[in-house]
Amino acid sequence: MHTGAHCDIDFDLEGKQVGHVSLPYSVDRSPFFQIKLPICQIRNGDGPSILLMAGVHGDEYEGKYALNRAISTIHASDIRGRLTIFPMSNGPAVLAGRRCSPFDGGNLNRAFPGDATGGPTLRIAHFIENTLMPGHDIIFDLHSGGTSMEFIQCGLCEVNSDAKWVQKAMDLLKMIGLDYSLLADNGVASPTSLAAAYRAGAVGISAELGGGATVTPSTMNATMMALDRLLTGCGMTMKSLLGNQQETSRETQFVRQAGQDHFVFAPRRGWYEPAVSLGETVEDGQLVGWLHDLESPEVKPVELFSSGAGIVAARRLHAHVEGGDSLFTLFEVD
């Protein structure tokens, strides 16, 4: 009663079911309170088994909107196989419009494999890795830059020593057809959803699709096209299920994130001004921005330089910064 999770759908049942995952969490207002996370399973005979996730961070919206649309429009007759949809994985963060949970400060993408007797974020992570992920062939976790960051549209997988698994993940990234695909070397023991997918026996991929805690027609169209390409490319369906305008899939460019020298951090508190834009190629040592001290206008702005070469993959949106805030992230071309 006080630990674990309860799911009110039957994963073995054919057809379409919509329900909730409920996790007990006693609060001052309600000692028997339950965190409710929507879930949908659509099952129709033999075929691929795919889990679609969003809302791992509560302030990222493209994935949540697209998966809500999928739940309301896809029927069992539209697919073959098993499609599981989990649109607001970290529900408390989603409802608060925050990256991390308001209950325990937990970042779900740093909480796997979780703990069935821990706080809310650890319990959600434990349910996802130990109950939800197993039995699926493919897991697609949808992200964007959130409130403070704008991210170039890209796919992502985590590489490891399992060459066959990595090739399968790279093939899926080619399938969804975003301009870039990031190969991240975080290790199979990392606390991320993609490492959890590997540990659960599935091939996991992710995508960054926008940012700023908002959506645009462009970011939504890219999100829905990526989903449609995955579902058709894996043979789950022969048609577009999300009703978007299909475009020819582009050849993705594989890139890497090469460590500390591919970030630009604020050296101290101030107000930053960018000199480069998202998607721009920069050289090692290039001027990428300035840090202003608005309280001391007589002080010349501090010049900020890149310590590596690459493509500007993400940039901070908020001008006011504290020391240690990431201002730019670079991708190294593979």
pLDDT in tens, 276-286: 999 999 999 99
Mean pLDDT across the stretch 204-216?
96
Q: Is 261 exposed, middle or buried (0-12, 13-18, 19+ CB in 10 A)?
A: middle
Instruction: Give the SS3 label for residue 209.
Output: coil
Per-residue pLDDT, 107: 98
Which residue bears the tokens 């961070």?
Answer: 57
Distances in Å between the Cα of 45 and the Cα atoms of 39, 81, 134, 276 are 20, 5, 18, 51
As a whole number of angstroms, the longest Cα–Cα distance in the chain is 71
What is the pLDDT, as a whole number, of residue 246?
A: 60
Q: Residue 19: which region, alpha, beta or left (left: phi > 0; alpha: psi -120 to 50)?
A: beta
Q: What percent of the chain has pLDDT over 90?
A: 90
Any idea which of 10-19, 71-80, 253-262, 278-287 has the lowest mean pLDDT? 253-262
> The tokens of 22 are what?
């409920």
pLDDT at 56: 98
What type of residue is 83?
L
Domain range annotation of the chain? 6-256, 260-333
> What is the rounded distance in angstroms from the CA atom of residue 260 to the CA atom of residue 248?
36
Query: How many Å apart are CA 226 and CA 142, to the nearest integer?
Result: 10
In this prediction, residue 148 carries a pLDDT of 95
Q: How confident is the model at residue 334 (pLDDT cuts 50, 70, 90)?
A: low
Q: What is the pLDDT of residues 15-69, one digit of tens each?
A: 999 999 999 988 889 998 999 999 999 999 999 999 999 999 999 999 999 999 9
Check whether 205 has a pLDDT greater than 60: yes
Query: Residues 171-198: pLDDT tens digits?
Result: 999 999 999 999 999 889 999 999 999 9
Rounded to 5 degrees, what are φ and ψ at 10? -100, 110
pLDDT over 80 at 135, yes or no: yes
pLDDT at 146 over 70: yes
Helices (H) and strands (E) in the chain, counts: 6, 19
pTM of full prediction above 0.85: yes
CATH class of 260-333: mainly beta
Domains 6-256 and 260-333 share a fold: no
CA geometry: angle 321, 312, 180, nearest 5 deg: 135
- In the chain, % of residues over pLDDT 70: 97
Bridge-based pairing state of the strands 138-143 and 203-208: parallel
Structure tokens at 15: 């057809």
Is the omega angle on the peptide bond into residue 113 within 30 degrees of 0, that is, cis? Answer: yes
Position 16, amino acid: K
Q: Look up the CATH superfamily of 6-256.
A: Zn peptidases (3.40.630.10)
Instruction: Label residues 48-60 b or e (16+ Cβ within 10 Å = b).
Output: bbbbbbbbbbbbb
Residue 253 pLDDT exceeds 90: yes
Mean of pLDDT over the chain = 95
